[in-house]
Amino acid sequence: MLMNAIMFLCAVLDIQILYTYFRGMFHQKKETISRIGVYAAFIGTEILLYLVTLFASDLSGPLRITIQLGSSILTTLGLTFLYESSLRYSIIVTLCFQAYSCIAELVSGGLFTYFLSNQLQSMPEIGDLILLLISKFILLLLAAGTMLVWRRKELYYNLQYSLLLLLTPILSIVILITIAYPIASELYQSILYSTTCACLLILNVGNFYLIEKNMQLLQTEYQKQKLQQQIEFQASKYQQIAAAYRDTRRIVHDVKKHYFFMQDCIQKEQYLPIQNYLTEAINDLENSYNTINTGHLVVDSLLNNYLSLAKEEHIRLETDLNILPNLIPTSDYDLCIILGNLFDNSIHACQKISSKQEKKISIHLLTTSKEFIIYIKNSMIEQQKDTKKKDTQNLYHGYGTENITQTVTKYLGTYLQIAENGYYEVTITIPIFKDDQSQKTS
């Protein structure tokens, strides 16, 4: 049972070595083939080679070697067609890998004969297994070395990574030899034991180093995603500012025409057309003028912009604003992150609603002597009651939720979310300290 399990692990190692070798030698796989398809092809090839080995086991020596070697070359060449490359390059990569396999078997056979053949004569199965493992690690060493040299100009590998990549199979070979080397002398036994411990120590240190680097990479990727989200958010705000600027330019252009018309009427002493024209111009100006005017630039600009967006999307937007601008404890930048993401999420949630359901957003902003309160309630697609597993992404809609949470936490505030009965509610409470007020007044 144990022998079969180890043989299975050797087959998995064989697949991983070939897959890693191809990833290093080829630039990319074909777009028409999925990653699962690639894995399935490698596993299927290993199974096919195993069946060929069983079939050829009863044949004579030269014929068996010819069939096994030919099937190995053909299947390896077939796997190269999963990647973008020329036929000539695929043949070169295939022949190199087969050459490495032959070299690995020859070197492993030499090491085994020199160190272990006499000691393991009474246990041939163990000897064959150790010989197989040594050959796999030598093949891994050759494949990894080729990958590092071949793509050194395209991919950057630092010295530590390169050493660990090459040392791992070397140390594995040393461990296999030392643990299987029986010796009576206590001195040599102590040396071999110390060698094994040193190899294991180095492997563990290397594994810890790789894990740490991987964690740093994940952290960098996480920060990159957050930065990308913030860039998208700022880009959307830029588009909104650009739209407001175009509206202002249009109003300025229209006002100039109004002045020219009135000047012409005055010169002709025709005053009645001026009165009618002014009435129409005032109505148009009132429709274009910002309807929200709390005195806080961020609140006014964002709300006026989202009023226009809500009108275009046929969303009923209600506001209840009772704030004193000098009491708001956040910076303009952080307030823009909070309100901008909340308003965006509310608009996006309403856009997903079918025409039969009401689209409504309620916004309440309040400042007291002790806290700044933001309450937003918007209609959303109602969750299915029979759903066994709730979708957290749908419940807490919007990619900016984490940015909001971090910003609110920065000001020691609280952030509560509720999604039920077809509505999504957010309540944010940020305390107001005396230091905040003094900084605002100063």
Task: Tell me the per-residue pLDDT of 127-149, one tens digit each, with 9 for 90 and over.
Answer: 777 778 788 888 888 888 887 77
According to CATH, the topology of domain 297-441 is: Heat Shock Protein 90 (3.30.565)
Instruction: Kindly list the strands in the beta sheet with 423-431, ordered across the sheet, starting from the edge strand earlier in the chain.
Output: 316-322, 360-367, 371-379, 423-431, 414-420
Please tell me the predicted confidence (pLDDT) of residue 284.
Answer: 66
Give the residue-averaged pLDDT of 405-434.
90
- What pLDDT score does 426 carry? 94
pLDDT of residue 390: 42
The reported pLDDT for the residue numbered 65 is 84
More confident residue, 189 or 51: 51
Residue 325 and residue 367: Cα distance in Å, rounded? 9
Please state, rounded to an integer, the average pLDDT across all residues of the chain. Answer: 78
Cβ-Cβ contacts under 8 Å for 86 (sequence gap 6 or more): none
Return d(Cα 299, Cα 292) in angstroms, integer: 8
* pLDDT at residue 408 in the model: 93
pLDDT for res 437: 55
257 or 319: whose pLDDT is higher? 319
**For the segment 343-397, what is each residue's pLDDT rounded down to a tens digit?**
888 988 898 887 777 889 999 999 998 999 999 999 988 764 444 444 444 444 4
pLDDT at 66 over 50: yes
- The answer to whether the CB of 295 falls within 8 A of the CB of 325 is yes
Q: Are 283 and 289 in contact (CB under 8 A)?
A: no
**How high is the pLDDT of residue 362?**
94
Sign of CA dihedral 351, 357, 358, 361: negative
Residue 422 φ/ψ region, left for φ over 0, alpha for ψ in the -120 to 50 degree band, beta for the rest: left
| DSSP-assigned states of every residue in 89-134 | HHHHHHHHHHHHHHHHHHHHHHHHHHHTTTTTTT-HHHHHHHHHHH
Query: What digits encode the pLDDT tens for the residues 20-29?
Result: 888 888 878 8
Structure tokens at 340: 């901008």
- Please name the amino acid found at residue 353: I
Task: Say if residues 363 and 376 touch (Cβ distance below 8 Å).
Answer: yes
pLDDT, residue 376, reads: 94
220 vs 121 pLDDT, higher one? 220
**Which residue ranges make up each domain of the chain?**
2-182, 229-288, 297-441
